[in-house]
Amino acid sequence: MRIPRHIGIIPDGNRRWAKDKSMDKSDGYQHGLNPGLEVLKEAMRYGVEEVTYYGFTVDNCRRPKEQIKAFQQACTDAVKLIENEAVSLLVVGNTDSKFFPEELLPYTKRNIEEDSSKMKVNFLVNYGWDWDLRNGFCSKAISRIDMIIRWGGMCRLSGFLPVQSVYADFYVVNDLWPDYKNEHFEEAIKWYQKQDVTLGG
Amino acid sequence: MRIPRHIGIIPDGNRRWAKDKSMDKSDGYQHGLNPGLEVLKEAMRYGVEEVTYYGFTVDNCRRPKEQIKAFQQACTDAVKLIENEAVSLLVVGNTDSKFFPEELLPYTKRNIEEDSSKMKVNFLVNYGWDWDLRNGFCSKAISRIDMIIRWGGMCRLSGFLPVQSVYADFYVVNDLWPDYKNEHFEEAIKWYQKQDVTLGG
């Protein structure tokens, strides 16, 4: 089986999920934590070497204050959950802005003494494609992505790592992110078998 | 009806089409010329303001010599066909390389005296995402893209304008490019109606 070396995860649909459940939109994010851990374990089981999560973006910070607080908290919680796993963790994003959660500052350097056989996990926090490119490719510690899986039905990058995504195969799950099931991941891997890797050649 | 202002066209599948017809792979490209003109007229009819075609790339030039010749010729022919239409035409690509067809050099500057109400048509010829970004955003004359339509079943950018594509909705047609039908375009526009425009917000 051909396993993508590096998978990008776009966990979209938290607000729509909350709305469908008659909750406040901002309540959706906390329901995305468990899916984040489940998909990580599934990727490990398949032998994926690197996973990158799209946490929140500079663009997202134009939303109402209570939503901003909610996704900042959810990202902070997610990073702390992932920290407990046997992974090499890196947070990438614009730390010069007030929207970057202070608690996540210690995660913005990868521990170089770490066992290199560990799965790499990158978490984009207050990330901006424009910030990334204008400042000399701030995300260069993140490698080329082979497959992107996006939940929530939309087929677009929404600014996700433009350089690393140039050759990525894009798989869309119609279910919303808090409704994550391992079958989504399995279907994505199955679909990936039918894509040829040409790197644009 | 919500019409995408700028559409990107990835005309993939010429070689597979030729192979299916027991022709030489390199014979496929000439069969992509007519589709290029048809989709342009359809986009005009809908009032699309800008269209960008993915001609050939720096990556593509690693292919066998007869294929390179064939897609260089097809792109040159396509630009000359499009020139006859009432559009403002621009060719964008790495002109410093031997793979850039000399005949297309005069098209690499947009005629600034041209009627600004004309549809803009951009044609990427010997384009490379890396060349584009490393040299200070060579494609900056091309605006943000709202929708990308890719023929041939693959769901990936293959290096197509990473900066302009950050927020683009991606629509995939399973048919191969030489089998273009106006219904493909109509279906794409219909699908676009169901996408919300958030620009990452």
Contact A79, A149 (CB under 8 A): no
Nearest to B168 among A156, A166, A169 (CB): A156
Query: Under 8 Å CB-to-CB from A55, ≥6 apart: which residues?
Result: A71, A75, A78, A93, A123, A124, A125, A126, A127
Contacts of A201 in chain B (CB under 8 A): 59-60, 62-63
* Chain B residues close to A63, C-beta within 8 Å: 201
d(CA B169, nearest CA chain A) in Å:
5
Decide if A169 and B159 are in contact by the 8 Å CB cutoff.
no
Residue B163: closest C-alpha in chain A = A162
pLDDT tens digits, residue range A172-197? 999 999 999 999 999 999 999 999 87
Return d(Cα B75, Cα B60) in angstroms, integer: 13
- Which pLDDT belongs to residue B199? 75
Of the candidate ranges A8-17, B49-58, B114-123, the one whose mean pLDDT is the lowest? B114-123
pLDDT in tens, B27-55: 999 999 999 999 999 999 999 999 999 99
Please report the pLDDT score of residue A56 as a whole number. 97
Domain B6-192: which topology? Answer: Undecaprenyl pyrophosphate synthetase (3.40.1180)
- In this prediction, residue B198 carries a pLDDT of 77
pLDDT value of residue A201: 73
What digits encode the pLDDT tens for the residues A111-161?
A: 777 778 899 999 999 999 999 999 999 999 999 999 999 999 999 999 999
Using CA coordinates, name the residue in chain B closest to A159: B166
Q: Which residues lie closer than 8 Å to B195 by C-beta, 6 or more apart?
A: A154, A156, B169
What are the boundaries of each domain within chain B? Answer: 6-192
Among candidates B159, B168, B200 on the partner chain, residue whose Cβ is nearest the Cβ of A59: B200
- The mean pLDDT of A103-110, rounded to a whole number, is 94
Put simply, the answer to whether B159 touches A166 (Cβ < 8 Å) is yes
Find chain B residues with C-beta within 8 A of A168's C-beta.
156-157
Determine the distance in angstroms separating the CA of B66 from the nearest CA of chain A, rounded to an integer: 15
* pLDDT at position A119: 96
Residues of chain B positioned with their CB less than 8 A from the CB of A59: 199-201
Can you tell me the ipTM of this complex?
0.96
Q: Measured in whole angstroms, how far is the alpha carbon of residue B161 from the centre of its chain?
A: 10
Residue showing tokens 């390389």: B97
Record: contact B162-A159, CB cut-off 8 A: no
Burial environment of residue A152 by CB neighbours within 10 A (0 to 12, 13 to 18, 19 or more): buried
Nearest CB among B63, B170, B201 relative to A156 is that of B170
